[in-house]
Amino acid sequence: MKRFLLFASCFLFALCSFAQKNMTKIIRPKVVVGIVVDQMRWDYLYRFYDLYKADGGFRRLLGDGFSCDNTMVPYLPTVTACGHTCIYTGSVPAIHGITGNNWWDNNLNREMYCTEDKKVTTVGSSSIEPGQMSPANVQVTTITDELRLATNFKNKVIGISMKDRGAIIPAGHSANAAYWYDGKTGNFITSTYYMQELPDWMKQFNGRKLVDSFYKQNWNLALAKDKYVQYCDDDANPYESKPFGANALTMPYQLDQFANSDYSKITVTPFANDLLASLAKSAIVAEHMGKTPETDFLTVSFSSTDYVGHAFGPNSWELMDTYVRLDETLGNLFAFLDKTLGKDQYTVFLTADHAGAHVPEFLAKHAIPGGRWDDNAIKKELTAMLQKEFGIDSLINYVGEYNVYLNRASLLRNRIDMDKVKNTIRNYLLKNDKVLQVVDLANANAATVPLPVREMVINGYNPAHSGDLQIIMKTGIMDSGPTGMSHGVWNAYDAHIPLVWMGWGIKPGHTTREVYMTDIAATVAALLHIQMPSGCVGKVITEIAP
């Protein structure tokens, strides 16, 4: 028996070796479609499951695809720019350099926006600032860059989103194009980093003024009213923002008033998702994606889920309605890909850049801990305290993403010991009943916080772009204004995201083992038989790419 098993093992090994040696061609999908749903909590897949359509996108993903049900963000802060960068680089802020949507650059001594680039100009609009953007601040390659390298730049990579950072960062340094929305004109724009003029097909797309068509539909309930009562909080709540006017308190919303006038309002509606899906279809057809021997890559980041979530919160009628409509939008997009590229000829993954917390006032109604925090107010408070303690009112440069940035030049000039200032701030903040812990980032390894939190802090620390102290909030505390909600902390409500794969190379199933956002790029690399991105620290999800 042992001899038989040994013989069988040797035979199988020889067979596999023979097959590998005689592999004549690397097989890849025609197109990879990377979908990021901005601010999507993992539980939305199942919380609204009964409301999703049988032919909708979410049920199809869960039925035909493979779901990684415990996918976690492994760094701080859990915000949009960091999330998109991590997904596509497989790296963390400590390495890739994107430490927030905004940060204080300790070398340049000024505030920096994640994709700002003053060396480039807008293409497609007379607006100046919206187009001064590029991926220059990302310090490593993306999986889209690696695919371009692997094909000797013969394939196409295009990124689209309502947000500049949602389009630019996923597409990478070597992309053919990235397009994002200009709320002043209602057009999609780009920058001279990519091209000097919009292609004709994009000019034609912008010329259709689809935003006005969506506005004229108004935002009515997609489902019967009793469904919203069953799944959501009250329709009108004082904790909700009022993006459509002070008197627009409940659904439905009259959007036709904004036609031909205010093109920014579309972002806080589910119709921005339809607009983006229409652009995705146009890009695939016009750019002939999937029609050459090389694998193309389209990155799509649906941003309106974030805008709606911030304004109304996870338990609002508006948020549920947005996901019900997104389900249908995704279903139509997948049907289009089936028809245009062929079913199982493309690979798609859907994930999120971060999740989101429940609104503190909603939690309070149910006796659950929570509260609000204001970084700007804390900066003023700390400045006044340090003025009293040290006689200097210029010891803090910036407070953002729960980071406190000290003014090192002022400390040196006034011969004030940095460690003494850190300890003074730490002791002061720990008296605040909303603060759990304050970590000295330069010595985060020695921080007395639980190991998972400490690892997230370390992974988020980049000396050039991070602060000197990291504030760890108590559960349910968020940095936001007086209404709406936010995200950015280590807790599962911000760090637990969906990750579902479908199409070419994917077998249906799911896993409950913990995987990380950093694993996405590594897994795509394994599926495509290309190199991982240059800063990748993720591991291949072997259930996807064995």
Max alpha carbon distance in the chain (Å)? 85
Contact in structure between 437 and 448 (CB atoms under 8 Å): yes
Catalytic residue among 71, 78, 80, 89: 80
| Nearest-angstrom CA–CA distance, 219 and 311 | 15
Chain position carrying tokens 């599926």: 527
| 3-class DSSP assignment, residue 468 | coil
Name which of 367, 397, 416, 158 is nearest 276 in CA terms.
158
Contact in structure between 85 and 354 (CB atoms under 8 Å): no
Handedness of CA 7, 10, 14, 16 (dihedral sign): positive
**Secondary-structure breakdown of the chain: helix, strand, coil percentages, each rounded to the nearest 5:** 40, 20, 40
| Nearest-angstrom CA–CA distance, 535 and 75 | 15
Contact in structure between 535 and 387 (CB atoms under 8 Å): no
| Nearest-angstrom CA–CA distance, 198 and 193 | 12
DSSP-assigned letter for residue 528: H
| Nearest-angstrom CA–CA distance, 373 and 467 | 18
3-state secondary structure 309-323: HHHHCCCCHHHHHHH
User: CA distances (Å), 58 to each of 46, 224, 368, 511, in order?
Assistant: 9, 20, 30, 17
80 a catalytic residue: yes
Token pair recorded at residue 341: 């590229």
The identity of residue 79, as a single letter, is: V
Contact in structure between 324 and 331 (CB atoms under 8 Å): no
Residues tagged active-site: 80
